[in-house]
Amino acid sequence: MDEALKPKNGMGIASLVLGIVMIVLGALPLIWITGVLGIIFGAIGINRAKSGQATNKTMAIWGLVLSIIGTVIWGVIKFGMGFASI
């Protein structure tokens, strides 16, 4: 397969992995960076899938959703603790 025709699924996969990590480890200090990166990679993955450059739109959507949920959970936990341990 030609290099230009191969699907670029890395962003969707990265977003899903980061979203899962964010959900599992969401209470740790500085883990919010993982959530933000997951959101960015998910958005890029969805855009690549829409333009036909990637084939894993569902994976990118799940990564985006999990990253957003994990980041919101992190914010709720940190707000509840008064941001004592950022």
pLDDT score of 32 more than 90: no
Torsion sign over Cα 40, 15, 65, 59? positive
* The model scores a pTM over 0.85: no
pLDDT exceeding 70 applies to what percent of the chain? 88
Using 50, 70 and 90 to split pLDDT, how confident is the model at 83? low
pLDDT in tens, 39-62: 999 999 999 999 999 999 999 999
User: Within a 10 A sphere around the Cβ of 61, how many other Cβ atoms?
Assistant: 17
**Token digits for 56?**
């894993």
User: Within a 10 A sphere around the Cβ of 17, how many other Cβ atoms?
Assistant: 16
